[in-house]
């Protein structure tokens, strides 16, 4: 066994169909009396319902979270939290809403209680991102890790099937890269494999019936495990490419992950055979890269960058950005490998099934 360091991250997870009913108890356990509820405009009704449920423990709602946490929104939310004398932030929604909670916590140290309704996994990480002047800056700070996470599969039933599939693959991406991370450890390996298997099981079932509560539970369980992997070990080529494509070309987050993942796995296949074996085993296939491609394609998710808004003339620039400041990866991808990364992007652009 290789050497490792395992650092348990302190967060309390409350999981179950109907678990939202425990929210008042969990707010009390945090010692909070004035919760500020955060959501996107699309989920404002859900935020209001949560405020109603909390009664006088709710200080107000801020239903203006948007993708990538613009600094202006973060400042506005911080101001509202101060004005209302909030002593806790409740983030109900996906990564964008949790991200806004993190921006508040970074500034004020307010504890976050997250109620995730997608599978992105941000609620399990101390990673924050804030966009200023068109540039998304990310960092790690233990203050932004939500103290409590309530996973209630009932709340994810309204996530449209298409988004459920891509969000599930977004989660799988964290686990897949965690399995070959430089700082991986046996606990995260277990969580990663189990997380991939749970989501791979859930995706076709949700595709068949969006209200299948067993499948919604599997997906959210997988999202928790995969999110924990993201929060605990380093990410590599796949996440670098997705940050490049999402950040510089404004492509949609979960869809980019879905399209790039099989190609990134094909690139790393020979350099990380043990990880590939575990991913394939979790997917119940022979090949990790092909299995991920097929999981997306068979369930109606995009497999080509050209179908999610990428322009072919931007592929050169994307390759340049990706190799300029590479992350550690089992197969290096610096400037010398620019041609190979450009080829990978071409295959992702066209949606070619890995060999």
Contact set with ligand NAD (CB under 6 A):
40, 42-43, 67-68, 93-97, 99, 117-118, 120-122, 125, 127-129, 155-156, 158-159, 167, 230, 253-254
Q: Tokens 């070959």 correspond to what residue?
A: 180
CB of 262 to ligand NAD, least distance (A): 19
> Per the structure block, which two tokens stand in for 143?
């203050």
- Provide the 8-state DSSP code for 70: B
Q: How far is the CB of 201 from ligand NAD (least distance, A)?
A: 19
Q: How many Å apart are CA 209 and CA 195, to the nearest integer?
A: 21
23: Cα separation from own chain's centroid: 23
Cβ nearer to ligand NAD, comparing 168 with 351: 168
With residue 233 as reference, give the H or E element that holds it.
none
Measured from the CB of residue 325, what is the shortest distance to ligand NAD in angstroms? 18
Distance of closest approach, residue 221 Cβ to ligand NAD, in angstroms = 16
* Identity of the residue, 93 or 351, whose beta carbon is nearer to ligand NAD in the bound complex: 93
Nearer to ligand NAD, 99 or 262 (CB): 99
Question: CA 137 to CA 312: how far, in whole Å?
Answer: 26
Q: Smallest gap, in angstroms, from Cβ of residue 28 to ligand NAD?
A: 25
Rounded Cα distance between 91 and 112, Å, is: 7
Answer for the pair 143, 128: CB distance below 8 angstroms, yes or no.
no
Strand order in the sheet with 148-151: 12-15, 148-151, 112-116, 88-93, 35-38, 58-62
CB nearer to ligand NAD: pick between 8 and 31: 8
In the bound state with ligand NAD, the residue whose beta carbon lies nearer, of 111 and 354, is 111
Q: How far apart are CA 50 and CA 61, in angstroms?
A: 9
Which residue number is nearest to ligand NAD in terms of Cβ?
Answer: 95
Beta carbon nearer to ligand NAD, 91 or 283: 91
> Residue 90 to residues 70, 201, 228: CA-CA distances in angstroms?
19, 30, 19
Around Cβ 113, how many Cβ atoms within 10 Å? 26
Q: Tell the smallest beta-carbon distance from residue 286 to ligand NAD (Å).
A: 29
- Closest distance of CB 162 from ligand NAD, Å: 11
CA 291 to chain centre: 20
Cα 204 to chain centroid, rounded: 20
Closer to ligand NAD by Cβ: residue 215 or 276: 215
């Amino acid at each position: 066994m290789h050497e490792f360091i395992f650092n348990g991250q302190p967060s309390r997870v409350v999981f179950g169909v109907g678990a939202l009913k425990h929210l008042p108890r969990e707010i009390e356990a945090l010692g909070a009396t004035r919760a500020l509820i955060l959501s996107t405009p699309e989920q404002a009704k859900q935020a209001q319902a949560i405020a109603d449920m909390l009664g006088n423990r709710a200080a107000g709602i801020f239903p203006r979270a948007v993708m990538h946490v613009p600094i202006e929104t973060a400042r506005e939310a911080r101001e509202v939290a101060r004005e209302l004398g909030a002593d806790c932030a409740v983030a109900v929604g996906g990564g964008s809403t949790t991200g806004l909670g993190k921006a508040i916590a970074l500034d004020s140290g307010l504890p976050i209680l997250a109620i995730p309704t997608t599978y992105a996994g941000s609620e399990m990480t101390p990673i924050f991102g804030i966009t200023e002047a068109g540039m998304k800056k990310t960092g790690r700070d233990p203050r932004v890790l939500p103290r409590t996470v309530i996973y209630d599969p009932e709340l994810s039933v309204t996530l449209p099937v298409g988004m459920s599939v891509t969000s599930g693959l977004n989660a799988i991406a964290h686990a897949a890269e965690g399995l070959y991370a430089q700082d991986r450890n046996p606990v995260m390996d277990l969580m990663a494999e189990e997380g991939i298997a749970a989501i791979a099981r859930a995706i076709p079932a949700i595709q068949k019936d969006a209200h299948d509560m067993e499948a919604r539970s599997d997906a959210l369980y997988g999202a928790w495990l995969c999110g924990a992997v993201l929060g605990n070990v380093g990410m590599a080529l796949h996440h670098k490419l997705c940050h490049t494509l999402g950040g510089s070309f404004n492509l949609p987050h979960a869809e980019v992950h879905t399209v790039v993942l099989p190609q990134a796995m094909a690139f790393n296949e020979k350099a990380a055979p043990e990880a590939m074996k575990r991913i394939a085993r979790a997917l119940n296939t022979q090949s990790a890269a092909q299995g991920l491609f097929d999981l997306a394609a068979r369930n109606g998710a995009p497999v080509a960058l050209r179908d999610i808004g990428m322009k072919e003339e931007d592929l050169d620039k994307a390759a340049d950005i990706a190799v300029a400041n590479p992350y550690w990866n089992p197969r290096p991808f610096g400037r010398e490998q620019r041609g190979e990364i450009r080829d990978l992007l071409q295959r992702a652009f066209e949606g070619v099934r890995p060999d």
